[in-house]
A = this chain, B = another copy of it.
């Protein structure tokens, strides 16, 4: 029986290392595909169409919304950001596990549309470590860091909505652990309904 892909939603505190983790995961195993978001913001130097984002005009984005072509979307600083449904569904059909980075409100919207989506919450090993990492970037002002820590405190309220917590201490170990969680998630009854139905039908034949 062909293994179907799972849609994986990754959330977590800013500074938890989600981006690096996801890239490393896709690089280390061949069953993953990163979802590419669509946005109306302008490409920054070095950004490539279809890699970082699909860059579109406002009208095109709004047409996508009307056509229900987005799994979720939000607007931020006068720009739209969203997840095109078609790309995700194509990859899932191919058997790829599609990874999507998104904050909690988006994650819950995704879960409604894809009840078998897997929700992962990435955290540093401690709040102290989170603060250190944000400070260590050296690019953020103390005000921005404080804002991010406040935001983290809010986000922490939603952790129970997630299937698994991923503690990002050492990158390599964490990538392996994340892969283990996703591998396990493939074995739930909800994600194996075809297999269960088949087994039930066969057993019925024997039992009659």
Interface presence of A192 (CB below 8 A): yes
Binds B, one of A21-29, A40-48, A158-166: A158-166
Interface presence of A196 (CB below 8 A): yes
Smallest CB separation, A107 vs chain B (Å)? 13
Determine the distance from Cα of A206 to Cα of B15 in the docked complex, in whole angstroms: 15
Given contacts A165-B187, A181-B184, contact A206 B149 (CB under 8 A): yes
Interface presence of A30 (CB below 8 A): no
Interface presence of A59 (CB below 8 A): no
**Contact B156 A199, beta carbon cutoff 8 Å:** yes
**Contact A207 B153, beta carbon cutoff 8 Å:** yes
**Contact B150 A207, beta carbon cutoff 8 Å:** yes
User: Which chain A residues numbered 123 to 167 have a C-beta less than 8 Å away from chain B?
Assistant: 123, 126-128, 130-131, 146, 149-150, 152-153, 156-157, 159-160, 162-166
Interface presence of A183 (CB below 8 A): yes
Interface presence of A200 (CB below 8 A): yes
**Contact B149 A189, beta carbon cutoff 8 Å:** no
**Contact B165 A188, beta carbon cutoff 8 Å:** yes
Determine the distance from Cα of A35 to Cα of B191 in the docked complex, in whole angstroms: 30
Residue of B121, B149, B189, B205 touching A160 (CB-CB under 8 A): B189
Interface presence of A67 (CB below 8 A): no
Interface presence of A77 (CB below 8 A): no
Residue of B126, B181, B202 touching A127 (CB-CB under 8 A): B202
Determine the distance from Cα of A188 to Cα of B120 in the docked complex, in whole angstroms: 9
